[in-house]
Amino acid sequence: MRSIKVSKAERFSLRTSQIAPDKSISHRCAMFAMLADGTSEIENFLRAEDTLNSLQIVKNLGATVEDDGVVIKISSEGIKESSEILDCGNSGTGMRLFCGLLSSAEGHFVLTGDEYLRRRPMKRVTAPLRDIGAKLDGRNNGDLAPLSIRGASLSAFKYESKIASAQVKSAMILAALRADGECSYSEPELSRDHTERMLKGMGAEIEVNGLITKIKPMKKLLSPLKIRVPADPSSAFFFGVAAAITPNSDVVLEGVTLNPTRIEAFEALRRMGADITYETTDNKYEPIGNIHVKYAPLRAITVEDNISWLIDELPALSIAFACAEGVSVVKNAEELRVKESDRISTVVNGLRACGIEVEEVHDGYSVRGSELGAATINSHGDHRIAMSFMIAGLRCGMEVEDIACVNTSFPNFFELLQKITKVEFA
């Protein structure tokens, strides 16, 4: 399956509980179970390439994993040295968090990934870890995978991050759990906070005060997880945008995490004029509920704050920009350049191919809303670019190439897309 042709959609109404389980939480479930005393039970784990790679890595690190197709049970007697190279596939989250988890583990470990992940910068994690005693190296002085980690004793730290990154913060929190004293991590703006929420729920001594997180080393192993992974708002957002740009359409996205650091893209879409409401149904590790999106005429906005809260959704949000009245602007988003692709360039070039006027700058771009035109778009192996331009096809028809990457995060995306429009695979 190399490419897809997406037909222009008529009005649709869709209610679904089939949005992919949350990728970020699934990764963390697999890893954090290695820190628990007892068996963690995880329901609705995302069975996509990236997260299954994390699950395989914890197996390679000595965990016992039982999967009956509904609940995954993970038991660990501590991290064991693996004779295997640990393959993170396409996942930057997986590689960066495993750096933090393994930096204090006894043994030698090698992390690698696919051709795209091996190009992504890792020094934002490897440098601060090395500063506290981690024995960690890789290509380009530790900036590129494969990465080699030899577990070491870690010093307590007071780290001030220059970027708001949940991946950097999570790696440092995991390192802090086995450091030789209380640690402190601060960031310029609040990044996504799944790690803090989940580890606190397991009994870790973590205190969050504004932009400062304090972590005390573990005195004992943590309580095992008992969790149902909610639907992924980053995946749900594609269908939120689909409803917002297709006249007279609406969608109800069920069982999604409503964590405030994860629904900023929906809030941006609401500022554009989309009719969006939330319904909370559960609140244990995370607030969980339903998101209802109805079509409404969209207007341009500027996105420059809380960028780390919607960095993954900006490609899809840009499709909404192209359908809005006026000029939308993205600022402070240079992080987009080091994702699975340079997402600033891939978004800009894709929208221009569709006849949209776009201006690119180093940390963002501006989009003048107009009428999207049909085009052929290459995803460059980036799942979010692929899915974003498939959604754009609902307005005008679209061909998207290199679509196998969608399986890294949202394997049933195509099934849901076929419920609202006609598609052809090649």
For the chain, the straight-line distance linking the first and the last C-alpha, in angstroms and rounded, comes to 6
For residue 247, the 8-state DSSP code is: T
* Neighbouring C-alpha atoms within 13 Å toward the C-beta of 339: 26
Distance (Å, whole) CA 361 – CA 13: 37
Q: Indicate the Cα dihedral angle 397, 403, 409, 412, nearest 10°.
A: 60
Six-digit token string for 335: 């992080």
Distance (Å, whole) CA 301 – CA 224: 43
* Neighbouring C-alpha atoms within 13 Å toward the C-beta of 266: 29
CA 38 from chain centre, in angstroms, equals 28
Distance (Å, whole) CA 184 – CA 176: 9
Are 25 and 97 within 8 A, CB to CB?
no
Q: Indicate the burial class of 328 (C-beta count within 10 angstroms; 0-12, 13-18, 19 or more).
A: buried
Ranges of beta strands (E only) in 204-258 are 206-209, 212-215, 226-228, 250-257
Strand partners, 158: 184
Which sequence positions are flagged as catalytic?
A: 312
Residue 303, C-beta contacts closer than 8 angstroms, at least 6 positions apart: 268, 310, 314, 317, 328, 329, 330, 331, 333
Ranges of beta strands (E only) in 20-70 are 39-43, 64-67
